[in-house]
Amino acid sequence: MTTSDVTGERYNLALVGVPNSGKTSLFNALTGSRQKVANYAGVTVERKSGGFVTPAGRQVTLLDLPGTYSLRGRSPDEIITRDVVLGKRAGEMPPDLVLCIADATNLRLTLRLILELKRTGRPLLMVLNMFDIAKRRGITIDVDAMSAALGIPVITSIAVKKGGADALRARTDEFAGHLPGPTAATEWVPTSIADLKAYQREADRIIRETVTMPTRPDSLTTRVDAVVLHPVGGLVILATILFVMFQAVFSWAAPLMELLSDSFGALGALVAQVLPEGLLQSFLQNGLIAGVGSVLVFLPQIIIIFLFILLLEDFGYMARAAFLMDRIMGGAGLHGRAFIPLLSSFACAIPGIMATRVIDNRRDRLTTILIAPLMTCSARIPVYTLIIAAFIPATDVWGWINLQGLVMFGLYVIGIASALAVSFVIKFFMLRDYQPAPFMLELPDYKLPRLKSIFIGVTTRAKMFLQRAGTTILSMMILIWFLASFPQPPAGAEGPAIDYSLAAMIGKALEPLFSAIGFNWQIVVALIPGMAAREVAVGALGTVYAIEGGKEAADAIGQALASKWSLATALSFLAWFVFAPQCASTLAVIRRETGGTKWMVITFVYMFALAYLASLITYKIAVAAGLG
Amino acid sequence: MRLGEAPRGFVGTIVALHQDAAGATSHELEQHLLEMGFTEGARVEILHQGAIRQDPIAVRVDNITIAVRRREAMAVLVK
Ligand SMILES: Nc1nc2c(ncn2[C@@H]2O[C@H](COP(=O)(O)OP(=O)(O)OP(=O)(O)O)[C@@H](O)[C@H]2O)c(=O)[nH]1
Ligand SMILES: [Mg+2]
């Protein structure tokens, strides 16, 4: 083929297949993107587009789609895939060629899906992915016979190996040459039960004729599951994993964090030495270094929590955890498939809320969305860590558990418990006419996490955090520094300069509303920009106290807090952030995913009310106990 | 026998997807089960079960493992 053949339009490919077959891995390999890949069904819930160029110079647009077992469109993610394949999406032509991605070790459901796809009239190409695993297990597939039986071309690939997608890239040209032009949306009717059965029989027949499989299932999976899915032992293991994860967030990160925090302190001191006293010095030292710096020091913690979650996801543990938790969550009115979105929310509620698209029942999905922000997201880590480090002694309990880590774990547990409680209340009072929806989830074979993909995953998240620090957090800090510095006090004024600033005026105006829960005006001021991103609250406190306290306070915000707040105030502040009305971006995602403002407002109001109530109770009890 | 009543370790084949006691397996459930590979003649084995009321169950259907609740598995007749 020569390049002259390929002038003209872009060529549109779409990746379709059952969940967890490696579509996104292939998408990343072909387009060089870094979309999320993990070993469980339902990772991709959006349509993602990318591009690549074939060896002959053809421009190709590639769509990555959510996995689906059929074209039925049961849940929001499956509907996206169905609509793209059928060309039902407004303003979008159906793909020129559908790449049917199959997990070569697990062909039964894929072949049935392909037979169903054939009915749509789209040109198809089957990609036998994970060919490395199939080989290792001794599965042999007669590729030519399979192609003949299906009546479509079949190629093999190893999406996660360098060069493993070359065959596909190269042969795209070949297929592109012989395609019928784009067709209008086909007449398509949902597959009937009789058809489904017939397709499955046909698929099983093709497998019998073209595939030989060893009779024994994957031995790693069998052995690990015997332990991990033990009815009692499994739950103990799950609890241990979570416990170790939260302890690690606290104890492993501490040395690195101190290093970072000392460096920022030294940097601040340097600025103070080099620059003359004045606005510029104050801006750099108090606004940038004390503000943004106090958020940046939490990078190690963020990395550790993501590392844990990524390892669990890549190994294939998530679906097992969902299995173990199904009945327990069911008691609180949650669907088993809510588990993975909720666990992802420990990282950030936004991907967690997006991941609820895999839940087909609307009520189940809505409940999950409402409680996802109660899961302790990584943005709360800075707040928790700062307060805990300042107020809780770093002693060991029973000789080996770090007390600070234990308190941290306790805060996570309170978050989880209140999420379950809220779900329980919703079940009883609001959405009552409800039949439990079916729970069916594939438990994929375990895969040893690959170092490279974990590394990519962690660096991507770390970059996102730094990017946020450089944009949202930075701009909020500039705002706070400005508010806390202007207007400047009149000449000869008494007391700290900050008392004359706008920040103090705003804070003091709102303080009466919050004095019942023990918040002073500095906290109130920090809460407002905390709506943009929760970590900003920490940075804002850093800036406010740095400006107030002058040079000495700038590098030790923890010490400043310890000397200025009572323990009761600190505990009340922690309680507030367990529920803290979430950040603006979470609210925006809730509005988008629920299709209206109503549920966004409900979430905001209920979380605000819970936060106030929790702080009130905490504060009153603490004061009564003499900690005020 | 119904798959939903079978003990852990049970090995058998699917005979049919069948009406539940009230005589009404919903169309939707049948379709869902079929899509996950619960078809007549498929080999099933109950590998694991949960702690509370032995629910849910992890079922090996041919060569994949699927978690289902016993409630839904009641619609699967096995021998
Ligand atoms: N060994 C091996 N592993 C693979 C291959 N392709 C994908 N994987 C792994 O299979 C798992 C699933 O990959 P994904 O790309 O997330 O699958 P997906 O089809 O996009 O999944 P959904 O988005 O949930 O539908 C991941 O753990 C990948 O690392 C392959 O060719 N060989
Ligand atoms: Mg994917």
For residues A448-460, average pLDDT: 90
Count Cα atoms within 13 angstroms, Cβ side, for A265.
13
pLDDT in tens, A46-77: 999 999 998 888 889 999 999 999 998 889 99
- CATH number, domain at A52? 3.40.50.300
pLDDT tops 50 at residue A466: yes
Banded pLDDT at A583 (limits 50, 70, 90)? confident
pLDDT in tens, A366-415: 999 999 999 988 888 888 888 888 888 878 777 777 788 788 888 988 99
Question: Which residues form the pocket of ligand 1, taking CB atoms under 6 Å from any ligand atom?
Answer: A 17, 19-25, 37-39, 41-44, 66-67, 129-130, 132-133, 158-160, 314, 447, 453
Banded pLDDT at A559 (limits 50, 70, 90)? confident
CB pairs under 8 A, 24+ apart, for A610-615? Answer: A610/A418, A610/A422, A610/A579, A611/A575, A611/A576, A611/A577, A611/A578, A611/A579, A611/A580, A611/A581, A612/A517, A612/A576, A614/A575, A614/A576, A614/A578, A614/A579, A615/A517, A615/A518, A615/A519, A615/A572, A615/A573, A615/A575, A615/A576
Write b or e for each residue in A146-184: b if 16 or more Cβ atoms lie within 10 A of its Cβ, otherwise e. bbebbebbbbbbbbbeeebbeebbeebbebbeeeeeeee
Q: Which of A217-221, A300-304, A344-348, A598-602 has the lowest mean pLDDT?
A: A217-221
pLDDT tops 70 at residue A484: yes
Mutate to test the interface with B, among A323, A329, A359 (most CBs of B within 10 A): A323
Edge-to-edge strand order for the sheet containing A440-442? A440-442, B64-68, B57-61, B43-49, B11-17, B76-78
Q: B-chain residues within 8 Å CB-CB of A321?
A: none
Write b or e for each residue in A99-135: b if 16 or more Cβ atoms lie within 10 A of its Cβ, otherwise e. bbbbbbbbbbbbbbbbbbbbebebbbbbbbbbbbbbe
The nearest CA of chain B is from the CA of A69 a distance in Å of 6
The domains found in chain B, sorted by start residue, are 3-78 (2.30.30.90)
For residues A591-612, average pLDDT: 92
ipTM of the complex: 0.94
More confident residue, A279 or A84: A84
Banded pLDDT at A301 (limits 50, 70, 90)? confident
Q: How many CB atoms lie within 10 A of CB B73?
A: 25
pLDDT in tens, B26-70: 778 888 899 999 999 999 999 999 888 888 999 999 889 999 999
- For ligand 2, the distance from its centroid to the CA atom of residue A47, given in whole angstroms, is 10
- For ligand 2, the distance from its centroid to the CA atom of residue A96, given in whole angstroms, is 20
- Tokens matching residue A259: 């290093």
For residues A24 and A583, what is the distance between their CA atoms, to the nearest angstrom?
Answer: 29
In a domain, A149, yes or no: yes
For residues A426 and A418, what is the distance between their CA atoms, to the nearest angstrom?
Answer: 12
Strand residues in A97-233 grouped as ranges (E): 97-103, 124-129, 140-141, 154-156, 211-212
For residues A193 and A272, what is the distance between their CA atoms, to the nearest angstrom?
Answer: 75
pLDDT in tens, A224-243: 999 999 989 999 999 899 88
Whether B67 sits inside 8 A of A441 (CB atoms) is yes
In a domain, A27, yes or no: yes
Q: Which of A160, A220, A317, A445 to mutate to test the pocket of ligand 1 (most atoms within 8 A of CB)?
A: A160
Q: In 3-state terms, what secondary structure has residue A59?
A: strand
Percent of chain A with pLDDT over 90: 40
In a domain, A538, yes or no: no
Whether B50 sits inside 8 A of A231 (CB atoms) is yes
In a domain, A113, yes or no: yes
Strands A211-212 and A140-141: antiparallel
The nearest CA of chain B is from the CA of A358 a distance in Å of 14
- Tokens matching residue A450: 């690959």
Query: Which residue has its alpha carbon closest to ligand 1 atom 11?
Result: A39
For residues B12 and B40, what is the distance between their CA atoms, to the nearest angstrom?
Answer: 11
Domain range for residue A113?
A: 4-212
- Tokens matching residue A123: 């040109």
For residues A389 and A392, what is the distance between their CA atoms, to the nearest angstrom?
Answer: 6
Neighbours of ion ligand 2 (CB under 5 A): A 23-24, 43-44
pLDDT of the residue at B23: 46
- For ligand 1, the distance from its centroid to the CA atom of residue A316, given in whole angstroms, is 11
pLDDT of the residue at A186: 58
pLDDT in tens, A76-127: 999 999 999 988 887 778 888 999 999 999 899 999 999 999 988 888 999 9
Which atom of ligand 1 has the smallest separation from the CA of A40? 24
Mutate to test the interface with A, among B11, B29, B34 (most CBs of A within 10 A): B34
For residues A549-564, average pLDDT: 69
In a domain, A476, yes or no: no
Banded pLDDT at A6 (limits 50, 70, 90)? very low
Q: Which residues of B touch A (CB under 8 A)?
A: 27, 29-37, 39-41, 47-56, 58, 60, 62-69, 71-72
Count of structural domains, chain A: 1
pLDDT of the residue at A227: 93
Alpha-helical (H) ranges within A163-232 are 166-177, 193-210, 219-228
pLDDT of the residue at A5: 47
pTM of the entire predicted model: 0.88
pLDDT of the residue at A2: 40
pLDDT in tens, A127-158: 999 999 999 989 999 999 999 999 999 999 99
